[in-house]
Amino acid sequence: MIGAIDEIYRAIPHRPPFLFVDKVLVIEGWRIVAEKYLSPDLDFFKGHYPDFPIMPGVLTMESIFQAGAILIGGMEAGEGAPDGIPALARVRDAKFKRMVRPGDTLTIEAEVVEKVANAFMMKGSAKVGGELAVSVQFTCAITPR
């Protein structure tokens, strides 16, 4: 099971400062639950409303996309797939329900809804304290390096 940061590094190509998953809590079948602590000193908080810092919604979605990529990267590795990386192919139905602030911890979920060839149709969410911040449907594909 993917959990430690070095295992996350093996599953996806993202690295700090553009890695928005700190740890994987659960992988069950085609579902993943992960976390990201949002340190108040992250650079985007300095410039995204300096007097009222919030995490940009696209970065909150990025955390969901990365969790999905970790899930399918790990699944594909287990299936002996050709060398490739998970890449975002489509975004649909994004809904922003709550602001994400410095010091929050995101609980990130992603689930494969359907797999067609190398494409994975997924749905996901990010929550803070059990409260929905973002939900989105998206597609990731395994692409050649």
Least confident of 41-55, 58-72, 80-94, 131-145: 80-94
Model pLDDT for residues 34-56, shown as the tens digit of each residue: 999 999 999 999 999 999 999 99
Model pLDDT for residues 102-112, shown as the tens digit of each residue: 999 999 999 99
pTM for this model (two decimals)? 0.93
CA angle at 125 for the pair 61 and 74, rounded to the nearest 5°: 80
E-only strand ranges, the chain: 23-28, 31-37, 85-96, 105-116, 119-128, 131-143
* CB within 8 Å of 104: residues ≥ 6 apart: 37, 38, 55, 128, 129
| CATH level 3 topology of 5-143 | Thiol Ester Dehydrase; Chain A (3.10.129)
> Can you say how many angstroms the Cα of residue 93 is from the centroid of all Cα atoms in its chain?
16
DSSP 12-27: ----TTS----EEEEE
User: Can you give the length of the chain in residues?
Assistant: 145
Quick check: 82 pLDDT over 50? no
Indicate which residues carry an active-site annotation. 48
* CB within 8 Å of 122: residues ≥ 6 apart: 68, 72, 110, 111, 112, 113, 137, 138, 139, 140
